[in-house]
A and B are shown apart, each in its own frame.
Chain A
Amino acid sequence: MAMVSDERALAKYKDEDMIMSPLLYLVGQGDRLTPEEATEVFFSVTKLFQANQPSLRRLVYLAIKELAHTAEEVIIVTNCLTKDINSDVDMYRANATRVLCKITDAQMVQQIERYLKQEIVDKNPVVASAALVSGQQLIMHNKGDVVRRWVNEVTQALDHKSPMVQYHALALLYLIKQHDRLAVSKLVQSMCQQGARSPMATVLLVRYVARILSEEVTEGTEYKDMPFFGFLEHCLRHRSDIVMYEAARAIALLPNVSPAELQPAVSVLQRFLVQSRPAVRFAAIRTLSMIASSMPLAVTSCNADMEVLISDPNRSIATLAITTLLRTGSENSIERLLKQIQNFLCEISDEFKVKIVVAIHALCIKYPSKYYALMNFLGNALREEGGYEFKRAIVEAYLGLMNKIPESKETCLSHLCEFIEDCEHAQLSTRVLHLLGKEGPHMPEPGKYIRYIYNRLILENAVVRAAAVSALASFAAESASESLRKSVAILLRQSLMDSDDEVRDRAVFFSQKLGLEAYQKKATAPPGPEEVAELQEDTKQGMNIPCPVPNLEVELTRYLSSGIFDTPFDMTKVSKAALVTSKDSEVSARNESLFGDSTGPDAGLGVSAKAQVDLAEEVMATPEFSSFGRPFKSCPPKDLTEAETEYTAKVIVHLYEAHVILEFICVNTLNDQLLEDVFIQVDTSDVSGLGGMTIVPAPRLAYGEPSRSYVCIDRTEVDEYPLGQLACTMKFSVKDMDPTTGEADEEGYEDEYGLDDLELDVATLMAKPGELPSSFKSAWEALGPDNEVADSFMLEQHDSISSAVTAVMDLLGMTACDGTDNVNDRARGHILLLTGVFVPGVQVMVHAKFVLTSECVALELVLRSELHAVSELLANSISGSD
Chain B
Amino acid sequence: MFSQLWQNILEWLQNLFFQQEMELTILGLQNAGKTTLVNLISTGDFTDDRIPTVGFNMRRVQKGGVTLKMWDLGGQARFRTMWERYCRGVSAVVFVIDAADYDRFDTARLELQDILSRRALDGIPVLVLANKSDLPGAVKDIDEIINTFGLTEINNHEVSVYSISAKNRVNIDVTLQWLIDHGSKKTSASTAAAVVNPALHNSQQSTPAQSASAAPTTSTETPPSTS
Contacts and interface: CB of A to CB of B under 8 A. Distances in A.
Interface of A: 11, 43, 46-47, 49-50, 73, 75-80, 82-83, 108
Interface in B55-88: 55-58, 60, 69, 74, 78-79, 81-82, 85-86
Given A43-B85, A76-B79, A50 B55 contact: no
A108 B76 CA distance: 15
Interface in B137-174: none
B82 A80 contact: no
B24 to A, nearest CB: 12
A80 B57 contact: yes
9 contacts: A43-B85, A43-B86, A47-B86, A49-B58, A73-B82, A76-B74, A77-B55, A79-B55, A79-B74
B53 interface: yes
B89 A11 contact: yes
A75 B58 CA distance: 15
Nearest to B89: A11
B146 to A, nearest CB: 32
Contact of B53 (A11, A43, A46, A79): A79
A76 B58 contact: no
Interface in B77-123: 78-79, 81-82, 85-86, 89
A43 B74 contact: no
A46 B56 CA distance: 10
Given A43-B82, A50-B60, A76-B82, A108 B89 contact: no
Interface of B: 53-58, 60, 69, 74, 78-79, 81-82, 85-86, 89
Best-surrounded residue of A76, A79, A108 (most CB of chain B within 10 A): A79
Main secondary structure of the interface of B (DSSP, over half): mixed
Given A11-B89, A50-B69, A79 B57 contact: yes
Given A43-B82, A50-B69, A76-B79, A83 B89 contact: no
A107 to B, nearest CB: 11
The 9 A-B pairs of least Cβ separation, nearest first, read A76-B55, A78-B54, A79-B55, A78-B55, A49-B58, A43-B85, A79-B54, A79-B53, A50-B58
B57 A75 contact: no
Best-surrounded residue of B54, B74, B81, B82 (most CB of chain A within 10 A): B54
Contacts of B74: 76, 79
B87 to A, nearest CB: 12
Contacts of A82: 54
A83 B78 CA distance: 20
Contacts of B86: 43, 47
A246 to B, nearest CB: 42
B66 to A, nearest CB: 15
B7 to A, nearest CB: 10
A11 B58 CA distance: 14
Contacts of A80: 55-58
Contacts of B53: 79
Contacts of A73: 81-82
A100 to B, nearest CB: 10
Contacts of B58: 49-50, 80
Best-surrounded residue of B56, B57, B79 (most CB of chain A within 10 A): B56
Given A50-B60, A77-B56, 5 more contacts: A43-B82, A43-B85, A76-B79, A83-B57, A108-B54
A740 to B, nearest CB: 12
Contacts of A11: 89
B109 to A, nearest CB: 24
Nearest to A77: B55
A11 B89 CA distance: 10
Nearest to B79: A76
Best-surrounded residue of A76, A77, A78 (most CB of chain B within 10 A): A76
A224 B21 CA distance: 75
A796 B71 CA distance: 82
Given A11-B89, A43-B85, A50-B60, A75 B54 contact: yes
Contacts of A49: 58
A541 B78 CA distance: 73
Best-surrounded residue of B58, B74, B82 (most CB of chain A within 10 A): B58
Nearest to A40: B85
A76 B56 contact: yes
A108 B74 CA distance: 15
Contacts of B54: 75, 78-79, 82, 108
Contacts of B69: 50
Contacts of A83: 57
A75 B54 CA distance: 7
Contacts of B81: 73
Nearest to A111: B54
A677 B54 CA distance: 40
A379 B69 CA distance: 77
A79 B82 contact: no
A77 B73 CA distance: 10
A555 B81 CA distance: 55
Best-surrounded residue of B53, B55, B89 (most CB of chain A within 10 A): B55
A75 B55 contact: yes
B82 to A, nearest CB: 6
Nearest to A78: B54
A83 B58 CA distance: 10
B70 to A, nearest CB: 10
A73 B84 CA distance: 13
B19 to A, nearest CB: 15
A108 B79 CA distance: 15
A43 B88 CA distance: 12
